Amino acid sequence: MAALWDDVVRDEAAVREAAAAAVDAALLEGVLMRTAGEPNASDVVTYAPFTLLPSAVPRALFEQAYAVQQDFNLLVDAISQNKEFLEHTLASTIKVDDFTARLFRIHKQVLEEGLAQSVFLGINRSDYMFDRGLDGTPALKQIEINTIAASFGGLISRTMAVHRRVLQVLGRWEEASRLLPNQPAAGLAEGIATAWQLYGSPSAVVMFLVEEDQRNIFDQRCVESELWSRKIRVIRKRFRDVFEKGSLDAARRLFVDGQEVAVVYYREGYVPQSYNQQNWEARLLLERSRAVKCPDIATQLAGTKKVQQELSRAGVLEQLLPTQPEAVSRLRQTFTGLYSLEQGEEGDRMAAAAIADPDRFVLKPQREGGGNNLYGEELRQVLEKLRDSPERNSYILMDKIKPQPALNYLLRAHSPLHVSQCISELGIFGVYVRQGKELVLNRAAGHLLRTKAVEQADGGVAAGVAVLDTPYLQ
């Protein structure tokens, strides 16, 4: 795999020519972001960072990731409906993690009041790396599943065309023709449109709930465009708009600024920094409504790291998917080692093991969005500090996945062009819609490949670490 583009990487003149063509292709195709200096203005934009060359991905593992995505959709949906499982699994975490606790309190309040929502939409992304085994054979191992604001389905829909152009410039016509089509923006829009239709009010809108700073707006606009083409009206609002202009009628229909909302698509709300008291009140209003939330708060809780760790315990998958033994087998094959750090004999033993050999593990808090995990010496220091503290319950421990590096160029605006040793992360988008107890839609909706330099421990594209990529199957 590492030798795929070795001859190109060593030809400096060809690299410079291809990089110039690549940047123009990215602008032409709309692989765009707003600038850090003007995150809410589109009069000056730049290209989203991406690799110069598509990265090699083992075909069998790529196909395995797609094949298991419908199983992950079923699993997330099952967890979201299992109040007892969520309560039991998160019991220790919510004692020490205020953010998870506040989400869980809203979840309980909505259930006690009685759900007004009858249509449920899940858009998730299951992320993997290709772990290099003792014999060098790569294996598909899950890093996490993102159940809220899973991003870059829009821009990645346009990235393959950029890499195809690069390969054409390099004279690699056959390789260019082998790049796979990939349209997650259309797949995500299909899920939203299905939920909107089942909601049953043709005049109602889809509301994208967005951040105050909207640097990644073009990724969202790709999905919006798909919805507008289906004659579905889209509005963009922030939490403060909901607080100031949102209301429920007697039937708990949601109105924002006078418009009935059929679907709330969260691209915000996954980190504590998203919330002040007004925003928590807005979130409660949304969750109490009849509108289809993507995700509803139970599904957001299903994506927590503590739930991920609990799923690896013997018998838990069988409890959640009792009639799906083949799905259970496929799911379990993707799991890596996941360990509880709760106070007690097991947690003490794992904390001691991680302190003694920190490079073997990743320490994961209950957070999304990239840049939150801890590695190496930092991991050791945090665990030593928390060794006897209940706060340790807010983390889990995971075996560190070790993929095979390969050479590539990471193209970023205003950054010098130089070759890097890189590793990649594959995400598969999943979409499902449930009406009552009936699963109406369940599919894999496309893929996202992100690549970063090996010296970067953690972080996604939005965090400024990884870049967009295209798989080249081998």
Is residue 125 a contact partner of residue 66, using CB atoms and an 8 Å limit? no
Where is average pLDDT lowest: 138-147, 227-236, 339-348?
A: 339-348
> Could you tell me the residue ranges of all domains in the chain?
6-336+401-473, 337-400
Straight-line distance from the first to the last Cα atom of the chain, in angstroms, rounded to the nearest whole number: 8
pLDDT band at 134 (very low <50, low <70, confident <90, very high): confident
Is residue 426 a contact partner of residue 57, using CB atoms and an 8 Å limit? yes
Where is average pLDDT lowest: 55-69, 74-88, 313-327, 354-368?
A: 354-368
Q: Whole-angstrom Cα distance, residue 431 to residue 443?
A: 6
Neighbouring residues of 234: CB distance < 8 A, sequence distance ≥ 6? 205, 206, 207, 208, 224, 227, 228
Report pLDDT for 1: 39
Domain 337-400 CATH superfamily:
Glutathione synthase lid domain (3.30.1490.50)
Evaluate if pTM is beyond 0.85.
Answer: yes
pLDDT surpasses 60 at 458:
yes
Q: Whole-angstrom Cα distance, residue 317 to residue 310?
A: 9
Report pLDDT for 369: 62
Neighbouring residues of 4: CB distance < 8 A, sequence distance ≥ 6? 53, 56, 406, 472, 474
* DSSP per position, 151-215: --TTTHHHHHHHHHHHHHHTT-HHHHHTSPP--HHHHHHHHHHHHHHHHT-TT-EEEEE--SS-T
Backbone angles phi, psi at 166, to 5 degrees: -60, -45
Nearest CA-CA partner of 122 in 44, 50, 191, 65: 191
pLDDT surpasses 60 at 86:
yes
Q: Say which DSSP state 374 is in.
A: B
Report pLDDT for 465: 85
Q: Is the peptide bond before 54 cis (omega within 30 degrees of 0)?
A: no
pLDDT surpasses 90 at 349:
yes
Where is average pLDDT lowest: 199-213, 277-291, 373-387, 439-453?
A: 373-387
* DSSP per position, 288-334: HSSSEEET-HHHHHHTSHHHHHHHTSTTHHHHHSTT-HHHHHHHHHT
Where is average pLDDT lowest: 286-300, 315-329, 362-376?
A: 362-376
Specify the DSSP element, H or E, that contains 102. Answer: helix 98-113
Backbone angles phi, psi at 319, to 5 degrees: -65, -40
Q: Whole-angstrom Cα distance, residue 156 to residue 447?
A: 8
| Distance (Å) of CA 452 to CA 30, 281, 354, 405, 408 | 22, 38, 25, 10, 9
Average pLDDT over residues 84-94: 96
Q: Which tens digit of pLDDT belongs to each residue from 152-201? A: 999 999 999 999 999 999 999 999 999 999 999 999 999 999 999 999 99
pLDDT surpasses 80 at 377:
yes
Beta bridge partners of 209: 237, 266
- The residues annotated as belonging to the active site are 125, 144, 146, 151, 305, 364, 368-369, 450
Paired sense of beta strands 419-435 and 119-132, if any: antiparallel
Q: Whole-angstrom Cα distance, residue 55 to residue 456?
A: 17
pLDDT surpasses 90 at 464:
no
The helix-helix angle for 12-29 and 156-169 (nearest 10°) equals 140
Where is average pLDDT lowest: 63-67, 99-103, 153-157, 369-373?
A: 369-373
3-state secondary structure of 439: strand
Structure tokens at 427: 């995400």
For residues 3 and 307, the model is more confident at 307
pLDDT surpasses 50 at 2:
no
Specify the DSSP element, H or E, that contains 94. Answer: helix 93-96
| Distance (Å) of CA 149 to CA 187, 236, 297, 433 | 15, 14, 12, 16
Neighbouring residues of 38: CB distance < 8 A, sequence distance ≥ 6? 44
pLDDT surpasses 60 at 55:
yes
Length, in residues, of the chain: 474
Average pLDDT over residues 283-307: 97
Nearest CA-CA partner of 48 in 445, 406, 464, 446: 464
Sign of CA dihedral 409, 413, 416, 417: positive
Specify the DSSP element, H or E, that contains 122. Answer: strand 119-132
The share of the chain scoring above pLDDT 70, in percent, equals: 98
Q: Which tens digit of pLDDT belongs to each residue from 12-50? A: 999 999 999 999 999 999 999 999 999 999 999 999 999
Report pLDDT for 293: 98
Q: How confident is the prediction for the chain on average, in pLDDT?
A: 95
Report pLDDT for 260: 98
Report pLDDT for 370: 66
Average pLDDT over residues 421-442: 97
Report pLDDT for 321: 98
230: amino acid identity, one letter: R
Sign of CA dihedral 108, 114, 117, 121: positive
Beta bridge partners of 339: 397
* E strands present in 240-290: 246-248, 254-256, 259-266
Q: Whole-angstrom Cα distance, residue 161 to residue 400?
A: 33
